[in-house]
């Protein structure tokens, strides 16, 4: 128990840096430290590449064009949701409602295509996801409910609402354009992959170039100091949940283009995969740290793992165990990185 009373507090950062001390040691271009720090910096990508190599050794069915398109197709909903979730996690929050939102959006789209047409149904679906995201945002930002609890409530509500409006039944979609989108290809790539690429570009732009991205990171790094800088922190915290809700809507629509069904039980437990993807991508659940590119890699890593295990005919129960272990390893690697970088 140290008491924080008066007195000269020891300051840990009493480094009196002279002018240009940090440029004083021009490291050789490929010094050991530099290579090490580069490796650590890109550890997510390296893990991914290592995984591809291991996959090749484990099964010869992995390196086929067909399998690659398959992985990409599977990866799209997870990638889109993880990108939205990344912004929530950057603020130090969490969104558990992502799977439920995908489900209710798929149901809303399926039910409204006959009445409002494809275009109207898509708009309605996107609005639904955004709306539920906004509810989480209001609860977290303005009513100051812990994100875990607020989004847990929204998760339950959205799942229930989806079951109510669909009467608990899957709703088949009779729209060829819609269903084709999920299986078609364009320029050799599945069409849905282009949606992921667009989402990636938008997320990267938000993260790197905008005031919004800058402040989201700042809030996650130190919410108090950000408020002390005169920022209306609540607005940005609200905003990230809206983004996450919108991303879930996109993912929900894409998921139902693949199956041709609006299902109230779509994506159960999906929040765990999405959180895992963001964390495997190196983001900190405490906020402030995380990258857009690595999040996509994180989603790819998870998709490749399940793909390889499917190819090897590993049963689903075993897959869960392996997935869990890989998440633990990823987080251990992150904390190891932090310790190494703080030592230097």
Partner 1 sequence: MHSPAIVIEGVKKHFGGVRALSDFNLKVEKGTIHAIVGENGAGKSTLMKILSGIYTRDAGRILLDGEEVHFETPQQSREKGVGIVHQELALSPDLSVAENIFLDDLGRGRPLVDWKAINARAGELLKSFGFPIDPRRRTGDLTVAYQQMVEITKSLARDVNILILDEPTAVLTTPEIDLLFDNLRRLKAKGVTILYISHRLEEIFRIADGITVVKDGVTVCDLDPATCSENDIITAMVGRELKSLFPEKLPPQGEPLFEIRRLTRRGVIEDIDLVVRKGEIVGLAGLIGSGRTEIAECIFGLARYQQGEMIKNGRKVSVAHPADAVAQGIGLVPENRKEQGAVLPMGIDANMTMSRLGGVSRFGVIRHGYEQTLTQRLREQLRIKLGKLSDPVMSLSGGNQQKVVLAKWLNVGCDFLVFDEPTRGVDVGAKSEIYNIIHRLAEEGKGLLVISSELPEVIGLCHRVYVMADGRIAGELTGDELSEERIMSLAIPKRSIQ
Q: By the criterion CB under 8 A, which residues form the site for partner 1?
A: 1-11, 13-23, 209-212, 214-215, 217-218, 221-222, 224-232, 288-289
Closest contact distance (angstroms) between CB of 296 and partner 1 is 22
Closest contact distance (angstroms) between CB of 19 and partner 1 is 6
Closest contact distance (angstroms) between CB of 134 and partner 1 is 19
Please name which of 108, 106, 107, 96 lies closest in space to residue 156, comparing C-alpha atoms: 96
Which pair of tokens denotes residue 256?
A: 């139902």
Closest contact distance (angstroms) between CB of 87 and partner 1 is 15
Distance CA 43, CA 340 (A): 13
Which pair of tokens denotes residue 169?
A: 């039944």
Please name which of 95, 99, 60 lies closest in space to residue 77, comparing C-alpha atoms: 99
Which pair of tokens denotes residue 49?
A: 């590449």
Distance CA 178, CA 113 (A): 10
Nearer CB in complex with partner 1: 208/318: 208
Nearer CB in complex with partner 1: 198/225: 225
Closest contact distance (angstroms) between CB of 251 and partner 1 is 25
In terms of Cβ atoms closer than 10 Å to its own Cβ (0-12, 13-18, 19+), residue 122 is buried
Nearer CB in complex with partner 1: 5/313: 5
Distance CA 251, CA 254 (A): 5
Nearer CB in complex with partner 1: 156/210: 210
Please name which of 332, 334, 309 lies closest in space to residue 322, comparing C-alpha atoms: 309
Distance CA 344, CA 326 (A): 27
Nearer CB in complex with partner 1: 13/115: 13
Q: Alpha carbon of 304 to those of 136, 301, 311: distances in Å? A: 31, 5, 10
Closest contact distance (angstroms) between CB of 204 and partner 1 is 13
Nearer CB in complex with partner 1: 95/223: 223
Closest contact distance (angstroms) between CB of 243 and partner 1 is 14
Nearer CB in complex with partner 1: 53/224: 224
In terms of Cβ atoms closer than 10 Å to its own Cβ (0-12, 13-18, 19+), residue 4 is exposed
């Amino acid at each position: 128990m140290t008491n924080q009373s008066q007195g000269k507090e020891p300051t840990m950062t009493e480094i009196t840096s002279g002018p240009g001390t940090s440029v004083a040691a021009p490291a050789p271009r490929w010094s050991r430290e530099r290579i090490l720090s580069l490796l650590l910096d890109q550890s997510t990508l390296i893990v991914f590449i290592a995984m591809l190599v291991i996959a090749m050794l484990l099964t010869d069915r992995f390196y086929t064009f067909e399998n690659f398109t398959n992985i990409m197709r599977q990866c799209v909903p997870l990638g889109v949701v993880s990108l939205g979730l990344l912004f929530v996690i950057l603020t130090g929050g969490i969104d558990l409602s992502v799977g439920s939102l995908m489900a209710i959006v798929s149901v809303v789209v399926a039910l409204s295509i006959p009445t409002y047409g494809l275009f109207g149904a898509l708009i309605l679906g996107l609005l639904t996801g955004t709306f539920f995201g906004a509810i989480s945002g209001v609860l977290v930002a303005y009513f100051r409910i812990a994100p875990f609890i607020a989004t847990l409530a929204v998760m339950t509500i959205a799942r229930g609402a989806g079951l109510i409006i669909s009467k608990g039944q899957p709703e088949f979609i009779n729209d060829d354009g819609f269903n084709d989108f999920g299986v078609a290809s364009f320029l050799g790539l599945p069409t849905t992959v282009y949606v992921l690429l667009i989402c990636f570009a938008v997320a990267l732009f938000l993260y790197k170039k905008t005031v919004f991205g800058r402040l989201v990171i700042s809030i996650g790094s130190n919410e108090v100091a950000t408020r002390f800088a005169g920022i209306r922190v609540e607005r940005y915290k609200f905003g990230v949940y809206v983004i996450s809700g919108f991303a879930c809507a996109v993912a929900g629509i894409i998921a139902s283009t693949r199956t041709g069904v609006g299902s109230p039980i779509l994506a159960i437990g999906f929040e765990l995969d999405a959180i895992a993807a963001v964390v495997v991508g190196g983001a900190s659940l405490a906020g402030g740290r995380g990258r857009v590119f690595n999040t996509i890699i994180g989603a790819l890593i998870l998709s490749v793992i399940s793909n390889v295990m499917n190819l090897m005919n590993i049963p689903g129960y075993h897959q869960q165990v392996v997935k869990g272990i890989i998440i633990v390893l990823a987080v251990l690697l992150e904390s190891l990185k932090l310790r190494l970088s703080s030592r230097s």
